[in-house]
């Protein structure tokens, strides 16, 4: 079983309030294929998940060179209330073994403060207290073995095989998913 430091009762209450309920082993994790333990992981940062067109549009918006309605013209939008952005993806990431930093948010609860399904988020508090990030800035995580977590407030490194897959959850829609190989506390290498 993988282990992450620190479970917070407050986080559990916040998740429960947002609609996440304890579940049995999900059908979406029952047929997973393990990630090769010796496969080299490529380091990704969150902007690597954005196709060039989305990245250019975001830069134009932040620099004031584009109308704010530009994002709604880029492609399919999420139906989750408050979630803006697109499902546009970087095709080259499909099947790649990657290592990414972020924050995890469990979607199911197994015994002893562990889960099999999570969202990997670019910043703390996403999806719980604020509208979720764009679908192409959230990764739906599935683990073969329960991942034990003690704290949702600390960043982690996640390694696994990236897949191009739209997943709709009660909290957010995602454009990517990942079969998890490992989760560990964030430390600068």
pLDDT (tens digit per residue) in 102-139: 999 999 876 678 999 999 999 987 776 678 899 999 99
Token pair 């399919």 is found at 76
Instruction: Enumerate the domain spans of the chain.
Output: 2-185
- Name the pLDDT band for 76 (thresholds 50, 70, 90): low
Q: Which residues contact 25 (CB under 8 A, 6 or more apart)?
A: 110, 116
Q: Considering only 22-26, 33-37, 88-92, which range has the smallest mean pLDDT?
A: 22-26
- For the residues 162-166, what does the mean pLDDT come to? 97
Q: What is the pLDDT of residue 111?
A: 67
Instruction: Check whether 150 has a pLDDT greater than 70.
Output: yes
pTM, two decimals, is 0.78
Instruction: Check whether 73 has a pLDDT greater than 70.
Output: no
How high does pLDDT run on average in the chain?
Answer: 80
Q: What does the block give as tokens for 169?
A: 């959850």
Instruction: Check whether 2 has a pLDDT greater than 80.
Output: no
Domain 2-185 has CATH 2.40.50.870: yes
Q: Which residues contact 68 (CB under 8 A, 6 or more apart)?
A: 61
Q: What is the pLDDT of residue 63?
A: 84
Q: What is the pLDDT of residue 13?
A: 27
With 0-12 CB in 10 A as exposed, 13-18 as middle and 19+ as buried, what is 80? middle
Q: Regarding predicted confidence, which is higher, 147 or 13? A: 147
Q: What is the pLDDT of residue 77?
A: 64
């Amino acid at each position: 079983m993988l282990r992450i430091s620190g479970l917070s009762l407050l986080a559990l209450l916040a998740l429960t309030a947002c609609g996440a309920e304890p579940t049995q082993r999900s059908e979406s994790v029952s047929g997973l294929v393990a990630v090769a333990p010796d496969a080299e992981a490529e380091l990704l940062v969150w902007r690597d998940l954005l196709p060039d067109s989305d990245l250019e549009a975001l830069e134009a918006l932040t620099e004031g060179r584009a109308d704010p309605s530009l994002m709604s013209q880029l492609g399919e939008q999420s139906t989750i209330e408050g979630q803006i952005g697109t499902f546009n993806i970087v095709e080259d990431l499909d099947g790649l073994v990657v290592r990414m930093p972020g924050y995890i948010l469990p979607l199911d609860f197994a015994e002893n403060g562990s889960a099999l399904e999570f969202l990997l988020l670019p910043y703390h508090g996403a999806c719980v207290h604020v509208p979720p990030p764009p679908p192409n800035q959230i990764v739906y995580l599935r683990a073969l073995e329960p991942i034990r977590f003690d704290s949702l407030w600390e960043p982690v490194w996640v390694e696994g095989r990236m897949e191009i897959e739209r997943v709709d959850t009660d909290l957010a829609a995602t454009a990517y998913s990942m079969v998890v190989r490992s989760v560990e506390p964030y430390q600068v290498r």
